[in-house]
Structure 1
Amino acid sequence: MKKSFIFTYFLLLLLTVSTALIASSGTISKGFVFLIMGISAIKFLLVAFQFMELKKANSFWKVSLILTLGLLIILIVCLK
């Protein structure tokens, strides 16, 4: 169990650094916004399922969280 926490932590660090590199690359187009939001969604789901132990929750909460996150990302990307 501890190894999975450490692996998740380093994966989150790697995704954060990659997001920072993408954001500092210059002009931000709609594709870059979609990529950054996708990486952010992955990070959010990693934290929710691994550290908040959502993986042990009822299926309703899992599905509602994923659908809400997807709707939020679609709204942000479309409004950019």
Structure 2
Amino acid sequence: MKKKAFLTVLIILVILTVLSAFVSNSGIANSTQYIMLLSALKFLAVAFYFMELRHANAFWKVLLIGCLTIFISLVLII
């Protein structure tokens, strides 16, 4: 993996973490949904860049995104 891509993804992860902290401390009505969306983006960034899932078979990519969608949907419903 190139160092530039690694650094870019790392900076994006830090920005998403800071953004989720700001959302949690703000008075936004649907902050839970926004925090879950930001955490899903962070999960996908970690899975595809640091776990090298972008080079995996399409089955594993679809399975990961499907499981993430089901998990977040269940958490938001409950």
Please list every run of 5 or more consecutive structure 2 residues that lacks an aligned counterpart in the other structure: none
2:50 pairs with 1:45: no
TM-score (norm 1): 0.91
Could you give the per-residue CA deviations for residues 39-73 of structure 1, whole angstroms, max 9, x where no partner exists? 00000000000000000111110000000000000
Report the alpha carbon displacement of residue 24 of structure 1 after superposing the two structures with TM: 1.4
- SS across alignment from 2:26: coil
Structure 1 residue ranges without an equivalent (≥5): none
Give the distance between the partners of 2:13 and 2:54, measured in 1 at CA: 18
Query: 1:66 maps to what in 2?
Result: 65
Aligned: 1:25 with 2:26: yes
Query: In 2, distance between residues paired with 1:34 and 1:25?
Result: 13
What corresponds to 1:10 in structure 2?
Answer: 11
Identity %: 47
Q: Which residue of 2 aligns with 1:55?
A: 54
Shift of 1:32: 1.2
Q: Which ranges of 4 or more aligned residues in structure 1 deviate by more than 2 Å? A: none
CA–CA distance in structure 2, aligned partners of residues 21 and 43 of structure 1? 16
State the aligned residue count: 77
